[in-house]
Amino acid sequence: MHHSCVIPDGGGGNGGDGGGVGPDMICGSSAECSDVAPICFVGRCRACEGAGDDPQCVAHDSTTPRCNAPTGQCVACLMSADCPKAAPVCNVANFTCHKCVAHSECSSGICDTTNGTCVDATDIAYVNNASGACSDTMHASTPTMPYCQIQYAASNAPQKFILVSGSATAYNALALNATTTAIGPLTIVGPAGRGTAMKATVTSTTLPALFASTTAAALTLTVDGLDFIGASGAAANAEGIKCQGGSATATLTIKNSTIEMSGTNGVNSSGCVLALDASIISANASEGVLVASSTYVITNNIIHHNGSNSGLSGVNIDAASTGTFAFNTVAANGGANAAFGGIVCAANGSNKLIEDSIVAQNAASPMSNGSQFTGKCQLQSVVTGPDAFSGAIQMAPAFLSITDFHLDTTGGALATNQACCIDKLAGATTPNATHDVDFGPRPKVPGGKLDIGAHEAQ
C-alpha cells in the first residue's frame, strides 16, 4: 500500500508504470515510486543508477532486486546468480528468471529437465578419463578430481546424476543390472553438442555398449548426450544399447545421443519401457531399433543406413509392443533388401501407428508397396517418397546429403520440402512434439505449423 505523498507545484499525476510516483516526484519511500523511476532519493523519485541502488530496488519491489543501470529500471536479474533455485537462469534479453531447459545454462553442467532446476554440483558425480587426476576409488568427485569410468561412478557413487566429459579416448562399456536392489532414477549426461569433436563415446569389444536389465528390482535410467558403439561382428551381444526387462520394470530413456556402427542392432528393447528421443541411429549392421514386448515412445530421431549388410530394417516393432512413433526420419536402411528396409510392423496383432514421419529411400526404393513398410503399419501424415501406401504422402523429400538426413532449405530443395514436409501440421499431441532432433523449437515460429519428420527445418 502506497503512503501519501506531496505533488510539487506544477506537478502531474503518478507515474504510469507500476502505479507509483513518477520521475522527480516527491516520495517517502521507493515503494511509492513508479517502475520507470523506482528509487526514492532525498524525497524524490529517480531512475536507478547502479549496484548501489540494489537495496532500494528491493524496497521498491522485492521481485526486482537488481538495478539495470542502462535503462534505469529495477529488474529481476542481471546474471543467473541473481535467480532463485526454482527459476535459476537469467534471460539477459528481458532480465527475468526462468527455468533451465539446457545443461549449458547451469554452472554445474546439468539441468534437471524434470523440474527446470540446475543440479547442485554436490549432487553430481563427475567422470573424465582424460584427466590425469581421475581415480576409480571412492572420493568426493569434482570436475578437477573426477572418476575415470562411467561404470565405476554408476555402480558406486551415491549421486543420482553423472556428468561425463568429452574425451578422445572411449569410455568402457556400461552394464547396470537391477537384481535385488533398485537402480535409479539415475541420469547420465554427456558433453553438450552431439557429434562434436569432444564427444563422450562408450564402446565395447564383446558386449553392448550399454546393457540395462532388471530381474526382481526396478531400474530407471536416463542417458543424455553420449555416443554408443557396440561390439563389431555378428555376436548376439554386439549391440549399441540393449535393454532387457525382468519381473521388475526397466525404464530406459535415451536422448540427444548417437548409436552407431554396432555389429548387430543399434537399440534392442525387450520387455522395457523405452523412450528414444532426438538421437541419431546409424550404420548398425542389423536393425537400427528393435522393439519387442515393450512400451515405447520413439520421437524426433534420424534412423539411417542400418542393415546395409544384413538387409534388415531401420525399425522393427513386434506385435506385443505398444507406444508412440512420431516425428522420425527413417531413410537409407535395408541395403540391398528388395522387399523392405524402412519399418517392419508385426504381421499380426493391432496396427502400429506411424505418424508425422518421413520414411523414404529405404532398400531398393522406389518399389511400390514394398520398400518402406511391411506388416500392420498404419500411416498418418507420413511421407514415403515415390512409394504408394494407404494414407501416405507420396512425395519425395530432399535431404542435405546422402549421409545427412536433415531437410535441405536451399534453392529448389526448399520448394520440394515445402511441398512434402515443411509447415504441414497444425499441431501435435504426441510426446516431445515441442522440439526436433537438434532440440530446436517445434515450430520455429510461435504459432506456426510443424514440419513432418525429425528435423524442424523452418
Task: Give me the chain's average pLDDT, please.
Answer: 91
223, 257 Cβ separation under 8 angstroms? yes
Report the distance separating Cα 224 and Cα 433, nearest Å. 18
For residues 146-174, average pLDDT: 96
Q: What is the extent of the structural domain holding 50?
A: 1-74
428 occurs within a structural domain: no
Q: What are phi and psi of 292, to 5 degrees?
A: -130, 130
Query: pLDDT by residue (tens digit) across 188-238?
Result: 999 865 655 678 999 998 889 999 999 999 999 999 999 999 998 877 789
449 occurs within a structural domain: no
Strand extents, DSSP E, 138-214 = 161-164, 174-178, 183-189, 201-203, 210-214
Residue 16 has pLDDT above 50, yes or no: no
Lowest mean pLDDT: which of 9-13, 99-103, 406-410, 439-443?
A: 9-13
Strand extents, DSSP E, 267-337 = 267-270, 273-277, 280-282, 289-292, 295-299, 302-304, 315-317, 322-326, 329-331
Of the pLDDT bands very low, low, confident and very high (cuts 50, 70, 90), residue 339 is low
How far is the CA of 209 from the CAs of 201, 228, 375, 380, in angstroms? 9, 6, 30, 34
35, 9 Cβ separation under 8 angstroms? no
Whether residue 161 is found in the same domain as residue 226:
yes
Whether residue 94 is found in the same domain as residue 120:
no
270, 293 Cβ separation under 8 angstroms? yes
Whether residue 20 is found in the same domain as residue 120:
no
For residues 137-165, average pLDDT: 96
Q: Write down the pLDDT at residue 12.
A: 37
Whether residue 282 is found in the same domain as residue 177:
yes
289, 315 Cβ separation under 8 angstroms? yes
Residue 139 has pLDDT above 90, yes or no: yes
427 occurs within a structural domain: no
Query: pLDDT by residue (tens digit) across 387-398?
Result: 888 889 999 999
Whether residue 1 is found in the same domain as residue 147:
no
Report the distance separating Cα 418 and Cα 408, nearest Å. 10
Report the distance separating Cα 427 and Cα 357, nearest Å. 14
288, 282 Cβ separation under 8 angstroms? yes
List the beta bridge partners of residue 404: none
325 occurs within a structural domain: yes
Residue 253 has pLDDT above 70, yes or no: yes
Give the dihedral of Cα atoms 445, 113, 239, 328; nearest 10 deg. Answer: -20
CA angle 254, 458, 382 (to 5 degrees): 65
Whether residue 103 is found in the same domain as residue 127:
no
- Could you tell me the three cell numbers for 4? 501519501
Query: pLDDT by residue (tens digit) across 345-375?
Result: 999 999 999 999 999 999 865 555 557 998 9
426 occurs within a structural domain: no
Whether residue 248 is found in the same domain as residue 180:
yes
What are the b/e assignments for 222-240, b being 16+ CB within 10 Å?
bbbbbbbbbbbeeeebbbb
Among 74, 94, 127, which residue terminates a domain?
A: 74
Whether residue 91 is found in the same domain as residue 183:
no
- Could you tell me the three cell numbers for 277? 528421443
Identify the DSSP state of 79: S
- All residues at 6 or more sequence positions from 354 whose CB lies less than 8 Å from its CB, including other chains: 325, 343, 345, 373, 377, 378, 379, 380, 382
Whether residue 95 is found in the same domain as residue 120:
no
401 occurs within a structural domain: yes
255 occurs within a structural domain: yes
Coil, helix or strand at residue 58: helix
Q: Write down the pLDDT at residue 365.
A: 55
Task: Please give the helix or strand (H or E) that residue 406 lies within, else none.
Answer: none
pTM of the model: 0.89
Residue 319 has pLDDT above 50, yes or no: yes
Whether residue 173 is found in the same domain as residue 288:
yes
Helix, strand, coil shares, percent, the chain, to 5: 10, 30, 60
Query: pLDDT by residue (tens digit) across 162-182?
Result: 999 999 999 999 999 999 999
What is the rounded radius of gyration, in angstroms, for the C-alpha atoms of the chain? 27
Residue 27 has pLDDT above 90, yes or no: yes
Q: Write down the pLDDT at residue 5.
A: 38
Whether residue 183 is found in the same domain as residue 331:
yes
| Closest C-alpha among 218, 280, 279, 260 to residue 243 | 218
Q: Write down the pLDDT at residue 23.
A: 81
Burial degree of 281 (CB within 10 A; 0-12, 13-18, 19+): buried
| Closest C-alpha among 226, 213, 224 to residue 167 | 226
Report the distance separating Cα 81 and Cα 44, nearest Å. 31
Q: What are phi and psi of 369, to 5 degrees?
A: 60, 30
Alpha carbon of residue 147 to chain centroid? 25
Give the helix ranges, DSSP H, for 130-176: 150-156
Among 55, 74, 93, which residue terminates a domain?
A: 74
Query: pLDDT by residue (tens digit) across 41-76?
Result: 999 999 999 999 999 999 999 999 999 999 999 999
